[in-house]
Amino acid sequence: MAARVPLGCEPVVGSLTPSRKKEYRVTNRLQEGKRPLYGVVFNFIDSRYFNVFATVGGNRVTVYQCLEGGVIAVLQSYIDEDKDESFYTVSWACNIDGSPFLVAGGINGVIRVIDAGKEKLHKSFVGHGDSVNEIRTRPLKPSLVLSASKDESVRLWNVHTGICILVFAGAGGHRNEVLSVDFHPTDIYRIASCGMDNTVKIWSMKEFWTYVEKSFTWTDLPSKFPTKYVQFPLLIASVHNNYVDCNRWLGDFILSKSVDNEILLWEPKMKEQSAGEGTSDVLQKYPVPECDIWFIKLSFDYHYKTAAIGNREGKIFVWEVQTSPPTLIAKLSHVQSKQPIRQTAMSFDGSTILSCCEDGTIWRWDVVATTF
């Protein structure tokens, strides 16, 4: 039987011995509440607010600011009217006038758009038939957001007008919960999604782009907008053998993870003529021990040089993602951090790492200034 990976083409596996290029120490630990925290994210949309972050857990969205000396200041808190809501995801976005928005979703399937500038609810998006697992904002046009849902679909929304522009679902769509979604950093038409059907799907909005543009000038009711279904992806990749709970573009490559203690870096190769067909070439592997439960997400610094990921034992692994072989910068652990870390957030330059935990705590790690 022929080997699946030709000789010399095996993925490069990173070593778990930290390079110690950077060292981090705990500078703060906050107990936000009793309910698990599922999301934490810095605002990379607006340079005025690079040190501002948001968390979600239970029916609460909280906004904080990271100050000097490890200080974390609470700025705002929003409590959903439904006490049974459990938010799983939050993303920063903004209105066309530049006002900062927070977009949150969870078990109810209703997406809440909060105007953080005016401190009030801006809009609620109803459309998904089940819970929302992830929301991502398009960095180059931050009034466009994607949502991934348990209802097996991904939706594209305009937060300014409240319109659902596109639904990625149907004949070639996901066959189980969609757990993660991401906009391509430079190709305006391309997105990636992954989920419980063990696949990563790459989609194009190219032939529907006029609808995206129309969503900004639409003056009628949002419900009257001609929402389009995108039924066929450009590529369906089976690089994992289990749930895929996080995928992120790294240029034209994709970093994705499943429940098998590693992150994969791979190159999708599309066949131009035949949609859905193509190959995926796994280039590198980044081991993450004790990361075998689903719903653990990756985060990056602004320039995608470094990634941070938690595990089920409360440890954080900080990987340099653009080196070959991959370099583990640091492994962060603290005697009191024992709960699963669902998500981390890296600051703009990677000097601060936040983690949000199953026990409702937020941890702050800051880089230690080293003198050589």
Tell me the domains of the chain and their CATH numbers: 12-367 (2.130.10.10)
pLDDT tens digit sequence for 295-336:
999 999 999 999 999 999 999 999 999 999 999 999 999 999
Tokens of 27: 């500078």
β-partners of residue 13 are 285
Cα gap 103→88, rounded to integer Å:
11
Report pLDDT digits (tens) over 158-187: 999 999 999 999 999 999 999 999 999 999
Cβ–Cβ < 8 Å for 201, 193: yes
pLDDT at position 6, please?
Answer: 65
pLDDT digits (tens, 9 = 90+) for 247-261: 999 999 999 999 999
Higher pLDDT, 198 or 2: 198
Reported as a single tens digit per residue, the pLDDT across 44-81 is 999 999 999 999 999 999 999 999 999 999 999 999 99
Whether the pLDDT of residue 121 is over 60: the answer is yes
What's the rounded Cα separation, in Å, for the pair 266 and 256? Answer: 8
Beta strand 154-158 with 163-168 is antiparallel
Give the residue from 270, 276, 197 showing the smallest Cα distance to 240.
197
pLDDT, one tens digit per residue, over 182-203 is 999 999 999 999 999 999 999 9
237 beta partners: 200
Confidence of residue 273 (pLDDT cuts 50, 70, 90): low
Per DSSP, the residues of 232-263 read --SEEE---SS---EEEEETTEEEEE-SSSEE
Q: What percent of the chain is predicted at pLDDT more than 90?
A: 92
| pLDDT value of residue 310 | 98
- pLDDT of res. 20: 84
Going by pLDDT thresholds of 50, 70 and 90, the confidence category of residue 2 is very low
Whole-angstrom Cα distance, residue 234 to residue 203? 5
Sheet of 327-332, strand order? 298-300, 306-310, 316-320, 327-332
pLDDT of residue 1: 39
* Beta strand residue intervals within 51-119, DSSP E: 52-57, 60-66, 72-79, 87-94, 100-106, 111-115
- What is the 8-class DSSP label of residue 198? S
Phi, psi of 201 (to 5 degrees): -120, 135
288 versus 280: the higher-pLDDT residue is 288
Query: What integer pLDDT is reported at residue 278 of this predicted model?
Result: 76
pLDDT value at residue 274: 66
- 7 pLDDT band, cuts 50/70/90, is low
Average pLDDT over residues 284-295: 96
Q: What's the chain's average pLDDT? A: 95
